[in-house]
Amino acid sequence: MDIAHPHTGNQRSLLFRLTQAELDQLFDTLEPVKISALNGAFRGRLMGVSGLNLLPRPLRVALYTVLQSPLNPWRGKYFANGAGSNLWLALNGQVRFAHYVVDSDPQTGTEFLNYNIAQNWQPLRGIRGEARQLDANTVLARMNYQTAQRSVRVLYFTLENH
């Protein structure tokens, strides 16, 4: 599948058709985002969920379509002053769960979302989020889960400023 940069709304919808490996390729071509500069609520859309790549592409796309509907309680993320949380049930933040701070890799200077904070339940503390600029209004991000032994890519998502 052609993974040219999807800079229009129609092309962005093609992201849901990509496998996690194809999203990895695209992600690696994009510029890192200065996450600490993000402010406010961002609408999120899930894709590239680990394990779903085993499904036929049409079935996987159908599942991602359902994940974009109101049936999915995750709405996106909220950023303020180098920290934030996930928004659940409504973009206005009626429920905020799974908090993070913005950290940077000392070797590369690249910023990331660090869920290893006291506010979170222990199982959430292994989450690390990375973000790249897809277009002027859209960030392509990925969630990794880290243990002492390894890091596993869990899923991809987009964030759009509203």
CA angle 104, 159, 95 (to 5 degrees): 90
Distance set, CA 54 to CA 22, 48, 57 (Å): 14, 11, 9
Output the pLDDT for position 61: 83
Distance CA 56, CA 62 (A): 10
Q: What is the mean pLDDT of residues 95-116?
A: 94
Q: What is the mean pLDDT of residues 84-105?
A: 87
Least-confidence region, from 20-29, 54-63, 129-138 = 54-63
Output the pLDDT for position 116: 97
Q: What is the mean pLDDT of residues 101-105?
A: 95
Rg (CA), the chain: 15
**What is the pLDDT confidence band of residue 8, given thresholds at 50, 70 and 90?**
very low
Whole-structure pTM value: 0.86
Which pLDDT tens digit goes with each residue over 44-68?
999 988 888 888 888 988 888 888 8
Residue 134 clears pLDDT 80, i.e. is over it = yes
Q: Where are the beta strands (DSSP E) in the chain?
A: 31-32, 40-47, 74-80, 83-88, 95-104, 111-114, 127-135, 138-146, 151-161
